[in-house]
């Protein structure tokens, strides 16, 4: 009979396996690991977004209908233009408020429901990034973001210490899943795609990274992904 693990043991198991599998860059076919921010370095944003929308009082049926129409791959959507820095935040908020009152709140820095202060970093992931650097791996940060949120990111993440290269979509005029942003960070790292591993929690971003030749890992649970990351570093798959 299979005995279930007590609550909380999965995190301990993932970290134990992570420690057992650790190797140096000299023994790996991978030279650099590139991390997404939300849902990879931070707690998963989905439940936080749901909670904040509930607190804001937005019409849930209308919200679901609007979300169903959103296509992350559409380069011409208002949100894509916002993340590329092409659309001013105040213009996006005005459109969102007119389209569905309350839906703009999670993107409004003046709102108590602004998403970014609610996305705490995962300490185990930070420790893993520090350990990767100590083992000789290069590290990168590749985030779809908005310019106004960047101070909140920096307040909880020592980007300069943790990453050799950091790329914010709003500052470079390109975003995931556009292939050019992956080429951009590869050029910054001066590495071919096959020598890099990219971690993201969004499937279309993973597919785009694969299409340019990068190794990839789809993250569901940030801590549990660490052992899977180490396996890829060992095998180069």
Q: Which of 93, 117, 141 is at the close of a domain?
A: 117
The CA distances from residue 164 to 22, 114, 152, 188, in Å, are: 20, 29, 20, 9
Output the pLDDT for position 236: 64
Output the pLDDT for position 96: 93
In a domain, 26, yes or no: yes
Q: Are residues 137 and 213 in the same domain?
A: yes
What are the backbone angles phi and psi of residue 142, rounded to the nearest 5°? -130, 105
Q: Are residues 123 and 168 in the same domain?
A: yes
In a domain, 8, yes or no: no
Structural domain containing residue 222: 21-43+119-235
Question: Is the separation of the CB atoms in 183 and 67 below 8 Å?
Answer: no
Q: Are residues 85 and 193 in the same domain?
A: no
What residues have CB less than 8 Å from 47, skipping those under 6 apart? none
- How many Cα atoms within 13 Å fall on the side-chain side of residue 118? 20
Domains held by the chain: number: 2
Q: Is 93 helix (H, G, I), strand (E, B) or coil?
A: helix
Output the pLDDT for position 12: 52
Q: Are residues 97 and 178 in the same domain?
A: no
Output the pLDDT for position 22: 75
Q: How far is CA 59 from the centre of its chain?
A: 27
Q: Are residues 106 and 83 in the same domain?
A: yes
Q: Are residues 147 and 112 in the same domain?
A: no
Q: Are residues 102 and 127 in the same domain?
A: no
Output the pLDDT for position 123: 97
Output the pLDDT for position 68: 87
Q: Are residues 221 and 178 in the same domain?
A: yes
- Assigned token pair, 90: 């105040």
Q: Are residues 68 and 89 in the same domain?
A: yes
Whole-angstrom distance between the N-terminal and C-terminal Cα of the chain? 34
In a domain, 183, yes or no: yes
Q: Are residues 105 and 178 in the same domain?
A: no
Q: Which of 94, 117, 140 is at the close of a domain?
A: 117
Q: Are residues 148 and 78 in the same domain?
A: no
Strands 196-200, 32-35: parallel, antiparallel or unpaired by DSSP? parallel
**List of the chain residues with pLDDT < 50:** 1-7, 9-11, 13-18, 20
Output the pLDDT for position 70: 87
Q: Are residues 113 and 130 in the same domain?
A: no
Question: Does the model's pTM come out above 0.75?
Answer: yes
């Amino acid at each position: 009979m299979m005995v279930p693990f007590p609550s909380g043991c999965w995190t301990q198991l993932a970290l134990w396996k992570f420690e057992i599998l650790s190797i140096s860059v000299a023994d790996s076919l991978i030279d650099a690991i590139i991390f997404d921010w939300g849902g990879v370095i931070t707690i998963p944003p989905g439940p936080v977004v749901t909670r904040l929308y509930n607190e804001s009082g937005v019409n849930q049926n209308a919200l679901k209908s609007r979300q169903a129409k959103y296509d992350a791959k559409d380069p011409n959507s208002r949100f894509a233009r916002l993340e590329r820095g092409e659309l001013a935040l105040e213009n996006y908020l005005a459109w969102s408020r007119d389209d569905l009152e309350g839906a703009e709140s999670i993107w409004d820095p003046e709102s108590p429901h602004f998403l970014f202060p609610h996305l705490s970093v995962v300490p185990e992931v930070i420790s893993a990034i520090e350990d990767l650097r100590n083992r000789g791996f290069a590290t990168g940060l590749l985030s779809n973001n908005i310019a106004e949120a960047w101070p909140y990111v920096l307040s909880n993440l020592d980007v300069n210490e943790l990453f050799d290269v950091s790329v914010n979509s709003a500052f470079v005029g390109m975003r995931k899943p556009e292939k050019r942003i992956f080429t951009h960070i590869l050029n910054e790292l001066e590495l071919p795609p096959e020598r890099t591993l990219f971690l993201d929690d969004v499937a279309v971003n993973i597919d785009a990274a694969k299409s340019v030749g990068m190794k990839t890992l789809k993250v569901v649970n940030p801590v549990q992904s660490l052992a899977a990351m180490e396996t890829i570093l060992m095998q180069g798959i």
